[in-house]
Structure 1
Amino acid sequence: MALDPTAFKTIVPSRYITFTIPNLLLHLHHFNASQLRVAVLDSPAPSEPVQIAAMLVPIGRESDWYFSTEQGHLQLILNFPQLSRLFLIGNSPTSTHPTSYNPLLCTDGVASVADSSVVEENLMPLLIELIPRSAFCRTGDGLCEIPFLSYEDEVIRSLVLDRCVGEFVGEMLIEDVELESEDGGGREFRRRLRFKRMPNLVQTQIKIRPKNVDFVNMEEVEFEIVDDGVLVHPYLTPMVAGLSVIRSFLDAKIGNGIKPKALCLGVGGGALLGFLSSQLGFQVLGIEADNVVLEVARRYFGLERGNSIRLCVGDALDMIGKFATQVESNGFHGYVLENGEHLNDFDDKFDVIMVDLDATDSNIGMSAPPLAFFQKSALFAIRTLLSKDGVVIINVIPSDQTSYKLVITEFKEVFAELYEIDVGNEDNFVLIASASEIGHVSVHRQSKFLKKLKQVSGSFLDSIRLI
């Protein structure tokens, strides 16, 4: 079907159009394919006045879900709420799947230092044809400015290890990445899990290290998991820091030889479950909607089930509803999951419930968790499952402040107290809701549990605030 140029003259919320054109800019190095791919996305909530911008796809990453899918584009434009329309221009992908990324192996070695201003100048006639009428000004030359945004992240190079398809989460990939070190020296390597439905959201990452450090291609080296008791996913450390709200209760329980009980809604690669079990001595039950995700966690991320970690497959909302009914009637004594797991060890209540679930669709105003978790029925079920001194700790990624304020209001209507940790990455907030008012009892002795909690949580302990 021929492209109708008039289609671009108006803004249509959430409309997504892609097309290819012959590449006449081969001499500019940045573009080295015979075809250019152009994507035009209109924001779900267009700004007034209309503002537009363009972005060049990093060379070598054209097949990455960040830049080649509608959901990837959507998450990009949601990072710029002032925009009404975003253009992405890059080499036409040679593959429909992400494979690897290594700028060291670019065609002529100069693509990374191409003169971006010359590229932008040569693209301007094309972009002018794609501008909506409402973006034209009545002053000056009649055109609004079209700024070029830059995409920057810490990834130096990457390699996709595997792609899987889960019945619930859909297509996912496991990749090894080399990152820029935060202190500017050395190398850092991670293994990551990403879902195609939310391509810009890393579901899980853990530390890995190469068995041979002298390599150019990541395909050439074998990596091993680093088990140093450190959480590297940005929001997991503040989630663990949230335990300090009930540190006196947990410390007393551990001091009496009783393992605290944790329910984790969302397993992913299992980094949080493994940490709670191995580093803090928790008995952990993890609920994951997709069995394929659990297989990935075991195969690639070192998750091991055993006496301290139990796993079950099921929808988190359905499971907490069933658990709440079970707890109110007869507790977990004699209760058997569909996979044959007995929950006798979990008694009647959980000391902490950790919620780490994505929303499956960032159009709804929340990237994590699903909005259904803020319904009164779900919040009351969670509170029913908590021990008297327990807390629910939840990772929240709101798309805007209005959505976030609504979440806070819902929590305050069900729970006794609500605390917040700002993760500091402009995306995540951790909310800690307590089943009852917390007595702030000082713990004078430095137990092993408290030392470990302080060691892993760092400055986040001081950033917890009551809201």
Structure 2
Amino acid sequence: MSLVPSIVATLIPSQFFVFTLSNPLTHDCYLRGPLLRIAVLDSPKPPSGNDVPTVAAMIVPAHRESDWIFSTESGQSHLLHSNPDVSRLVLIGNLPPGDFVSSIYVRPPANLAARREKEKLEMELGPLLIALHPQVCFGIGMLEPRFLTYEDTVVFRVTICTGTGPIVGEFLVEDVEVETEHGGRKDFRRRLRFKRMPNLIQSEVRLIPSLVTDGWMNDLNLDLFSLKKMNDVKFEVDPRVLIPTYLNAMVSGIFLIVTPLDRRAQLEIVPRALCLGVGGGSLLHFLNAQLGFHVVGVESDGLLLDVAQPRFGLRVGDRMNIFHEDAAGLLEVVSCGLSQQRTDGLAGCLRSKFDVVMVDLDASDARFGNVCPPTNFFTKPVLLAAKLVLHDHGVFVMNVVVVNDEIYSALVLELKTVFYKVFQMVVRDQENYILVATLSPLARHEPCTAFSIRMRLREAVSREYIGSIKEV
């Protein structure tokens, strides 16, 4: 696409356009192609009052041109949302190579030479950024080009498989090495990401390297890039530890009902959890293996289930049942009493009530203001249906990511009309809220044994989240 000046001249809420430009750079750097890709996105919210719009640019990191974070409107929208004072965000980078499947990223060294190259790049690209300001910015003095820097913890990344699910759309599974403290043990992980929301990690598990021959490997502390080149090294996932901080917060919500759970455990009653949204299955595996729950998982996209088993170690077995079903539709069937007419395995699982219902579902289109859960989980009929499948002592836990406070407040209000009390946790360094709703007053804590659910919870999840549960 070529640039149309009239498009640049005016800020239009959520306007997005991409064009190519002959490379104007005069020095040797990683932006060395004959053409540059320029992507421009305007904020959905216009500047307030007489405020002058703020325009900023971000140079796409080397070898990440094909990363959905930088190559899609949804990824750029999330970057813009992370900088709420910016009215227009411009991404400048090489043209993506087009071969996303073999995408490999190795973070370049952060040394003095790299910093100087970045400064030189920004100086040479400054006139381009000035030209991409809307007309209203001119005539108020000298414009200063503003550049933002994208930072994350990824040191190395390689895409190991991609697919397109009928519900979630395009997705990928990638192996990454993330930063550790200086001299610390290398940290390898496997991640699941969706193209429609590439900045959010849908599932993440620890990755353990071992030798193919005997399953044992000396702790050489090699980086992932080196290990991937070794033919006698294989990788296994370890789902016993919850890596995503928001999942730790979700599990912490169970702490509100540990007293009735431990009382029932003394009667040899196994606690039951209904997980709406499976992804890679790390939450389900943790509840089953670490806390002893009988887990029923429901996932709307069957292709994700096919990927989760070989790539993330998801296993159906003892007290672990997984079903391909639409979560919201399932709850509506329950609310109408139609589940009693079904004779399949899921119907059998639904005939007994649950101690916990956990919702970790993303919305199909974040432009409506909510990233997760889907909009139908903001409605009273679905929430009432979730209440129906819970024991009186049960708890309803929901992962919530929204882009404005009004939507969040509306959801909290709806929960309050359905449940007895509503609590929340705010996940540090992320945009997640965890909402926890109870059906009855909280029971007093009682003395517990070393194998009680209370003790296992304290050992398995951060006390930071247990202590941060606050009534809304």
Q: Using structure 2 for the length normalisation, give the TM-score.
A: 0.90
Amino acid at match of 1:461: I
Residue aligning to 2:229: 220
On the 8 A contact 2:281/2:312 being kept in 1, the answer is: yes
- Give CA-to-partner distance per residue, 1:116-160, whole Å, 9 cap, x none: 22211111111121110122252x33x3x3321110000001010
Residue aligning to 1:463: 468
Please state whether the residue corresponding to 1:8 is helix, strand or coil.
helix
Cα distance in 2 between the residues matched to 1:244 and 1:61: 41
Residue aligning to 1:39: 39
Mapped pair 1:428 → 2:432: yes
Amino acid at match of 2:317: G
Mapped pair 1:86 → 2:95: no
Give the Å deviation of 1:183: 6.8
Give the Å deviation of 1:252: 1.3
- Give CA-to-partner distance per residue, 1:46-97, whole Å, 9 cap, x none: 3332111111101110110000111111111111222211000011111252
Cα distance in 2 between the residues matched to 1:439 and 1:135: 59
Cα distance in 2 between the residues matched to 1:244 and 1:113: 47
On the 8 A contact 2:101/2:160 being kept in 1, the answer is: no
Residue aligning to 1:410: 414
Give the Å deviation of 1:223: 4.3
Shift of the 185–259 alpha-carbon distance from structure 1 to 2, 3 Å rule, reads: same
- Give CA-to-partner distance per residue, 1:141-191, whole Å, 9 cap, x none: 3x3x33211100000010100011111111110000000025762310100
- Give CA-to-partner distance per residue, 1:258-296, whole Å, 9 cap, x none: 111111000000001111111111111111010000011
Amino acid at match of 2:45: A
Cα distance in 2 between the residues matched to 1:462 and 1:378: 29
Mapped pair 1:267 → 2:278: yes
Cα distance in 2 between the residues matched to 1:443 and 1:178: 42
Please state whether the residue corresponding to 1:200 is helix, strand or coil.
strand
Map 1:366-405 → 2, pairs under 5 A: 366-405=370-409
Cα distance in 2 between the residues matched to 1:73 and 1:98: 21
Cα distance in 2 between the residues matched to 1:257 and 1:347: 19
Residue aligning to 2:214: none
Shift of the 111–287 alpha-carbon distance from structure 1 to 2, 3 Å rule, reads: farther
Cα distance in 1 between the residues matched to 2:107 and 2:32: 15
Deviates more, 1:356-365 or 1:399-408: 399-408
On the 8 A contact 1:54/1:86 being kept in 2, the answer is: yes
Deviates more, 1:109-118 or 1:398-407: 109-118
Residue aligning to 1:209: 208
Shift of the 410–423 alpha-carbon distance from structure 1 to 2, 3 Å rule, reads: same
Residue aligning to 2:217: none
Mapped pair 1:25 → 2:25: yes
Map 1:359-370 → 2, pairs under 5 A: 359-370=363-374
Could you tell me which runs of 5 or more consecutive residues in structure 2 were left unpaired when the two chains were aligned. 212-220
Give the Å deviation of 1:408: 1.3
On the 8 A contact 1:317/1:378 being kept in 2, the answer is: yes
Cα distance in 2 between the residues matched to 1:302 and 1:111: 42
Amino acid at match of 2:133: I
Mapped pair 1:452 → 2:456: yes
On the 8 A contact 1:47/1:81 being kept in 2, the answer is: no
* Root mean square deviation, CA, Å: 2.3
Map 1:162-173 → 2, pairs under 5 A: 162-173=161-172
Cα distance in 2 between the residues matched to 1:39 and 1:218: 36
Cα distance in 1 between the residues matched to 2:429 and 2:410: 21
Residue aligning to 1:127: 129
- Give CA-to-partner distance per residue, 1:190-243, whole Å, 9 cap, x none: 000011111111100000022365464564144423437210012111111110
Residue aligning to 1:301: 312
Map 1:120-159 → 2, pairs under 5 A: 120-138=122-140, 140-141=141-142, 143=143, 145-159=144-158
Shift of the 192–149 alpha-carbon distance from structure 1 to 2, 3 Å rule, reads: same
Q: Give the total of aligned pairs.
A: 455
Residue aligning to 1:258: 269
On the 8 A contact 1:251/1:449 being kept in 2, the answer is: yes
Please state whether the residue corresponding to 1:75 is helix, strand or coil.
helix
Q: Using structure 1 for the length normalisation, give the TM-score.
A: 0.91
Could you tell me which runs of 5 or more consecutive residues in structure 1 were left unpaired when the two chains were aligned. none
Residue aligning to 2:98: 95
Shift of the 84–173 alpha-carbon distance from structure 1 to 2, 3 Å rule, reads: same
Shift of the 444–191 alpha-carbon distance from structure 1 to 2, 3 Å rule, reads: closer
Mapped pair 1:60 → 2:63: yes
Shift of the 384–182 alpha-carbon distance from structure 1 to 2, 3 Å rule, reads: farther
Give the Å deviation of 1:360: 2.0
Amino acid at match of 2:67: D
Shift of the 95–113 alpha-carbon distance from structure 1 to 2, 3 Å rule, reads: farther
Residue aligning to 2:218: none
Cα distance in 2 between the residues matched to 1:415 and 1:78: 32
Cα distance in 2 between the residues matched to 1:389 and 1:457: 22
Shift of the 318–61 alpha-carbon distance from structure 1 to 2, 3 Å rule, reads: same
Map 1:345-356 → 2, pairs under 5 A: 347-356=351-360
Q: Residue 245 of structure 2 is aligned with which of 230, 234, 254?
A: 234
Cα distance in 1 between the residues matched to 2:75 and 2:322: 31
Amino acid at match of 1:436: S
Mapped pair 1:438 → 2:442: yes
Amino acid at match of 2:264: K
Shift of the 207–92 alpha-carbon distance from structure 1 to 2, 3 Å rule, reads: same
Cα distance in 1 between the residues matched to 2:365 and 2:99: 21
Mapped pair 1:279 → 2:278: no
On the 8 A contact 2:153/2:179 being kept in 1, the answer is: yes
